[in-house]
Amino acid sequence: MKRIVVLISGRGSNMEAMLKARLPVDIAAVISNEPAAGGLVTAQALGIATAVVPHRAFADRTAFDAALAAEIDRHQPDFIILAGFMRVLTENFVARYLGRMVNIHPSLLPSFPGLHTHRRALEAGVRIHGCTVHFVTPGLDSGPIIIQAAVPVLPNDTEDLLAARVLEQEHRIYPQAVRWLCEARVQLGAAGSVSIIRASATIGALVSPSPDDRIF
């Protein structure tokens, strides 16, 4: 069974989704940069090892990343799962786990990398928004894509309403991506392409707003 370490900064809702999915993995530890992260309490209640590497205790990002890597390596994981981990990682840290570290981002990458994705989607007037699970590379939110989910942007959407709709899809696709990884069904090509072994294909389209069928 593959071992994973989950990195969180807050409540860890995506981590909870993985726990509910009963994935065939050993969650070796949940690590946070925030001592008050709610997800630590959730993990502890389930008997999962937890650790805190507080970023404010370090002089710079490089020192923090070195301490974080030491804590991760102590658990000997096969994969590192970023689940709402709100720190930008240094290039050396990313290189250390290249091909073994994944993240979920609340947009349909490559659109809207970085922060405030739902606000920016509304401001841009896009009709379809969503979330992406991708491998972590040195470029921010630019790694090879494993899986995506799309939702319509509705006329009366607020940032919070859209965020909630996207989060529901995050909770669907992140456990799926981790399952594929741990079942060795994700193949990362040399050119950065990702293929999924035995993945089913969906033929169809999400159209938003819905068209008037009478014109077709």
- The two tokens of residue 43 are 């993990």
Tell me how far apart the alpha carbons of residues 23 and 162 are, in angstroms, rounded to a whole number.
Answer: 28
DSSP states along 98-156: TTTEEEEESS-TTSS-SS-HHHHHHHHT-SEEEEEEEE--SSTT-SPEEEEEEEEPPTT
C-beta separation of 102 from 170 below 8 A:
no
C-beta separation of 183 from 199 below 8 A:
no
β-strands 50-52, 25-32 pairing: parallel
Question: Is residue 191 helix, strand or coil?
Answer: coil
* Residues marked as catalytic: 105
